[in-house]
């Protein structure tokens, strides 16, 4: 034990020394004056990432050791460290390195040329003890699971823990899978599919860092609580260039304030809505009901329906997005008006053969039209610059517009701007349908150019003053190098640079693309949600995590083939996880009975352990329900770990099952399961989620009769001792 503690202490000394080295390089990069401004920014960001990685791996830096048959041994940890005195031999192997794989896949029957696997138990930087597993013993079949059982049985804290020390062979195979397309990981409750997906991200960042780190990774989860729950896993593995969001966060700046009914979600999530959106945009490309008068010189010209229709046809035929096609529309209208004006103004003295005179007159008329407010207003009326919100909000709030666009009437709502999560893919789609306001972009670019020139002139003036100061100095005076460096830095300040980190830049940019995307609870995503995500990752590198049996959304997936064949035919693979590491056998037996009732073709995952505590149920009156909830909360407050009360909408002091998806708690109380079961067509899936959140203790309190599928629960009296 003493030698192991000494070795691990030496690893921490190396870690501290490495941190100091990188801190020094980071400081030097911040002060650096060599190279271009962009090169210095790249250096600063690289050193900042490296420093953050080193600061995040302190807890459990080294968690194991492998001994080979030849007597050599290797230490396994969260990152790799090297021994400078021994030609940079590995002092600590990164868990993702090929040489570390035997730590996860070696068994007694298949030892992978290993003699022993040692697992350290640590607190902070201190090694408390270790357990050894001798490999290759006659009669051995599988890897020992003492460390695994200790980890899955331990009380839960805040947030999901990494499994880097206890990855199982079936999980390791998925984590290290070399597949460039889409990997689907399906598994029932407690199979570890989420944490496996996150460890796969860490593995990909390790093996493909140069390709992935400039664009980062996107992780999409079902709700903010889930994202908070998993947010510590990747940082604990030394990875921080990861954006966590829900589907509601995929359009920067949008504030979701409402919730759709299942019928509305289904209508918005279907690909049929694409035709509705295209029709809604086309409906804003109008023809004048009566000719619009335009004063040009001494003439009054008119934009009539025939002219506008020709311009509209040409603009639509251009294939450009709406806002960009406005230039084509404007060009045709302008051409018609100027031709008519020239024909009338030059009648009797100007012929088309006099090209110079004709073009000079046209230039004057074009300038006049460009400055004419009435003409600008007419173009705005017929072909307005539109934003996604300006299309969708009026569409929702008008039954007439919905009919004109061929939309389902259920989409009508009085407040068009009461945005929901289901609106996000529609707004995102409209970004592409509408395109940019090119005139506004050009104006902004001109303003930015003027500002850059002004600031550069100011910086040059400061430097001229410094030179004048040097020329006027006496011999005893000195112009310090810092003065010139200040002027140089000052000039650099006026070069437009983006110094935000990757997460900040990515979350504020709708057009940002990622090298890899993880989608958790993927069965809940609609067909329109998938269009958004595919835009965010053009190379189609995904890890998709889900369980079709737990689908709640009316717009969600019913098969992975249906979802993926449209985008990645022949480029997706499927893997399943069948072992339940979270839910003890006693609780899973209750949930499995429910699963067999609403999804008879789905095999429940097999629990690796029993907890020795039987789930219980208790019938109470409506008046007794608050007291029963309070009793559970009071009892669990005195125990280690976490707990939650899950109930149907409208029951005080409970959390809806949908908000607990992907989460785990030591103890769970399910309130009024009969109401959860009756809440819509996916009520059974909701109840299944609620029953499978507990790692130790499950209780059910009910007012009405206990649902038939839960009759296996033992009914108990109010005495709390029976729930110990």
Residues 502 and 422 in one domain: no
Q: Is the pLDDT of residue 451 over 70?
A: no
| Helix, strand, coil % over all residues of the chain, rounded to 5 | 50, 15, 35
Q: Is 191 annotated as a binding residue?
A: yes
Q: Which range has highest mean pLDDT (297-301, 487-491, 520-524, 579-583)? A: 520-524
The total of structural domains in the chain comes to: 5
Question: Quick one: 48 exposed, middle or buried, by C-beta within 10 A (0-12, 13-18, 19+)?
Answer: middle
- State the pLDDT at residue 450: 60
Question: What integer is the mean pLDDT of 534-538?
Answer: 96
Higher pLDDT, 306 or 465: 306
> In the structure, what pLDDT confidence band is assigned to residue 538 with cuts at 50, 70 and 90?
very high
Q: Is the pLDDT of residue 380 over 80?
A: yes
Q: Is the pLDDT of residue 447 over 60?
A: no
C-alpha angle with apex 398: 397 to 401, nearest 5 degrees? 130
End of a domain among 537, 559, 577?
Answer: 577
Residues 455 and 594 in one domain: no
- Under 8 Å CB-to-CB from 417, ≥6 apart: which residues? 389, 393
Q: Is 193 annotated as a binding residue?
A: yes
Cα 527 to Cα 268, 273, 554, 575, distances in angstroms: 9, 10, 11, 22
Cα separation, 462 vs 243, in Å, equals: 41
Higher pLDDT, 552 or 309: 309
Cα separation, 84 vs 90, in Å, equals: 9
- State the pLDDT at residue 1: 78
Question: What integer is the mean pLDDT of 184-206?
Answer: 94
Quick check: is 491 in a domain?
A: yes
Question: What integer is the mean pLDDT of 201-220?
Answer: 92
Residues 296 and 311 in one domain: yes
Element containing residue 462 per DSSP (H, E)? helix 438-471
The string of pLDDT tens digits covering residues 601-630 is 899 999 988 999 999 999 999 999 999 999
Are 260 and 422 in contact, with CB atoms under 8 Å apart?
A: yes
Provide long-range contacts, Cβ within 8 A and 24+ apart, for 170-177: 170/577, 170/578, 170/579, 171/104, 171/196, 171/199, 171/577, 172/101, 172/104, 172/105, 173/105, 173/575, 174/200, 174/575, 174/577, 175/199, 175/200, 175/203, 176/96, 176/101, 176/200, 176/203, 177/573, 177/575
- Express as a percent the part of the chain with pLDDT over 90: 61
Q: Is 64 annotated as a binding residue?
A: no
Quick check: is 392 in a domain?
A: yes
Radius of gyration for the chain, computed over Cα atoms and rounded to the nearest angstrom: 33
Residues 298 and 408 in one domain: yes
Residues 324 and 367 in one domain: yes
Q: Is 194 annotated as a binding residue?
A: yes
Quick check: is 358 in a domain?
A: yes
Are 537 and 512 in contact, with CB atoms under 8 Å apart?
A: no
The model's pTM:
0.83
Residues 141 and 4 in one domain: yes
- State the pLDDT at residue 458: 58
Are 140 and 110 in contact, with CB atoms under 8 Å apart?
A: no
Residues 423 and 288 in one domain: yes
Q: Is 187 annotated as a binding residue?
A: yes
The string of pLDDT tens digits covering residues 57-106 is 888 899 999 999 998 999 999 999 998 877 788 999 999 999 999 999 98
Quick check: is 64 in a domain?
A: yes
Residues 408 and 268 in one domain: yes
Question: What integer is the mean pLDDT of 247-269?
Answer: 94
Length of the chain: 724
Buried b (16+ CB within 10 A) or exposed e, 383-398: bebbebbebbbebbbe
Residues 86 and 191 in one domain: no
Q: Which among 698, 697, 672, 699 is positioned nearest to 686, based on CA atoms?
A: 672
The CA dihedral of 386, 320, 411, 686, to the nearest 10 degrees, is -110
Quick check: is 233 in a domain?
A: no
Tokens of 576: 């399943």
- State the pLDDT at residue 139: 47
The separation between CA 45 and the C-alpha centre of its own chain, rounded to angstroms, equals 22
Cα separation, 305 vs 627, in Å, equals: 72
The string of pLDDT tens digits covering residues 275-334 is 999 999 999 999 999 999 998 878 899 999 999 999 999 999 999 999 999 999 999 999
Q: Which among 221, 200, 176, 247 is positioned nearest to 516, based on CA atoms?
A: 200
Q: Is 36 annotated as a binding residue?
A: no
In which region does residue 96 sit, left (phi positive, over 0), alpha (psi from -120 to 50) or beta (all else)? alpha
Residue 671 dihedral angles phi and psi, to the nearest 5°: -105, 130
Element containing residue 574 per DSSP (H, E)? strand 572-577
Are 90 and 74 in contact, with CB atoms under 8 Å apart?
A: yes
The string of pLDDT tens digits covering residues 496-514 is 556 678 899 999 999 999 9
Element containing residue 75 per DSSP (H, E)? strand 73-77
DSSP string, 98-118: GGGTHHHH--SS--TTEEEEE
DSSP string, 290-323: SPEEEEETTEEEEE-HHHHHHHHHHHHHTT--HH
Q: Is the pLDDT of residue 199 over 90?
A: yes
Higher pLDDT, 38 or 526: 526
Residues 280 and 412 in one domain: yes
> In the structure, what pLDDT confidence band is assigned to residue 724 with cuts at 50, 70 and 90?
very low
Quick check: is 236 in a domain?
A: no
- State the pLDDT at residue 480: 46
Q: Which range has highest mean pLDDT (298-307, 376-385, 481-490)? A: 376-385
CATH of residue 535's domain is 3.40.50.300
Quick check: is 234 in a domain?
A: no
Residues 542 and 497 in one domain: no
Residue 527 dihedral angles phi and psi, to the nearest 5°: -60, -35
Q: Is 238 annotated as a binding residue?
A: no
Residues 20 and 141 in one domain: yes
Quick check: is 161 in a domain?
A: no
Mean pLDDT (the chain) is 87
What range does the domain containing 52 cover? 1-155
Buried b (16+ CB within 10 A) or exposed e, 419-444: bbbbbbbbbbbbbebbbebeeeeeee
Cα separation, 550 vs 258, in Å, equals: 24
């Amino acid at each position: 034990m003493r030698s192991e503690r000494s070795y691990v202490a030496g690893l921490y000394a190396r870690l501290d020394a490495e941190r100091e080295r990188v801190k020094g390089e980071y400081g030097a990069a911040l002060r650096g004056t060599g190279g271009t401004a962009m090169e210095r920014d790249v250096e600063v960001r690289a050193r900042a990432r490296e420093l953050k990685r080193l600061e995040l791996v302190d807890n459990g830096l080294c968690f194991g050791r492998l001994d080979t048959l030849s007597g050599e041994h290797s230490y396994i940890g969260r990152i790799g460290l090297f021994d400078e005195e021994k030609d940079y031999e590995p002092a600590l192997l990164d868990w993702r390195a090929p040489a570390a794989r035997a730590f996860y896949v070696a068994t007694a029957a298949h030892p992978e040329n290993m003699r022993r696997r040692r697992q350290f138990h640590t607190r902070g930087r201190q090694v408390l003890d270790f357990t050894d597993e001798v490999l290759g013993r006659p009669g051995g079949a599988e890897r020992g699971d003492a460390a695994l059982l200790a980890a899955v049985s331990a009380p839960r804290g805040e947030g999901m823990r990494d499994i880097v020390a206890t990855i199982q062979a079936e999980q390791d195979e998925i984590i290290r899978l070399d597949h460039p397309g889409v990997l689907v990981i399906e598994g029932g409750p407690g199979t570890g599919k989420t944490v496996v997906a996150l460890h796969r991200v860490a593995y990909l960042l390790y093996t493909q860092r140069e390709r992935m780190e400039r664009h980062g990774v996107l992780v999409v989860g079902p709700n903010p609580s889930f994202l908070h729950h998993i947010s510590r896993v990747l940082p604990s593995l030394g990875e921080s260039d990861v954006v966590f969001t829900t589907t509601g966060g995929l359009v920067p700046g949008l504030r979701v304030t409402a919730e759709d009914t299942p019928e509305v979600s289904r209508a918005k999530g279907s690909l049929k809505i694409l035709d509705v959106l295209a029709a809604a945009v086309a409906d804003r490309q109008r023809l004048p009901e009566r000719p619009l008068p335009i004063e040009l010189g001494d003439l009054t010209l008119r934009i009539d329906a025939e002219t506008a229709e020709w311009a509209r046809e040409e603009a639509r035929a251009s294939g450009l997005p709406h806002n960009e096609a406005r230039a084509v529309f404007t060009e045709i209208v302008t051409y018609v008006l100027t031709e008519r004006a020239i024909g009338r103004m030059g009648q009797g003295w100007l012929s088309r053969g006099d090209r110079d005179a004709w073009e000079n007159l046209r230039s004057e008329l074009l300038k006049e039209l460009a400055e004419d407010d009435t003409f600008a207003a007419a173009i705005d009326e017929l072909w307005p610059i539109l934003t996604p919100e300006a299309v969708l909000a009026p569409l929702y709030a008008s039954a007439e517009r919905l009919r004109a666009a061929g939309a389902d009437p259920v989409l009508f709502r009085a407040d068009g701007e009461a945005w929901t999560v289901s609106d996000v893919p529609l707004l995102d789609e409209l970004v592409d349908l509408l395109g940019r306001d090119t005139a506004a972009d050009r104006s902004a670019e001109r303003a930015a150019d003027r500002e850059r020139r002004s600031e550069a002139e100011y910086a040059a003036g400061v430097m001229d003053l410094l030179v004048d100061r040097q020329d006027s100095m006496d011999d005893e005076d000195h112009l310090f190098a810092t003065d010139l460096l200040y002027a140089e830095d000052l000039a650099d300040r006026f070069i437009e640079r983006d110094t935000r980190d990757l997460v900040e830049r990515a979350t504020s940019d709708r057009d940002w693309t990622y090298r890899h995307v993880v989608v958790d609870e993927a069965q809940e995503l609609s067909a329109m949600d998938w269009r958004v995500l595919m835009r965010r990752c053009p190379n189609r590198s995904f890890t998709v995590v889900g369980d079709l049996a737990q689908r709640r959304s009316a717009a969600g997936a019913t098969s992975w083939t249906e979802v993926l064949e449209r985008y990645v035919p022949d480029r997706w693979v499927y893997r399943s996880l069948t072992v339940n590491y979270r839910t003890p056998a006693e609780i899973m037996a209750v949930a499995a009975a429910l699963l067999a009732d609403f999804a008879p073709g789905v095999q429940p995952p097999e629990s690796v352990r029993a907890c020795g505590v039987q789930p219980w149920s208790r019938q109470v009156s409506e008046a007794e329900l608050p007291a029963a909830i309070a009793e559970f909360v009071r009892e669990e407050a005195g125990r280690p770990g976490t707990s939650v009360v899950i109930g149907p909408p409208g029951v005080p002091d409970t959390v809806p099952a949908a908000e607990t998806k992907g989460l785990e708690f030591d103890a769970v109380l399910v309130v009024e399961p009969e109401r959860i079961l009756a809440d819509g067509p996916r009520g059974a899936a909701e109840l299944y989620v609620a029953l499978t959140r507990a790692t130790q203790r499950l209780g059910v309190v009910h007012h009405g009769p206990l649902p038939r599928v839960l009759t296996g629960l033992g009914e108990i009296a109010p005495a709390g001792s029976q729930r110990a």
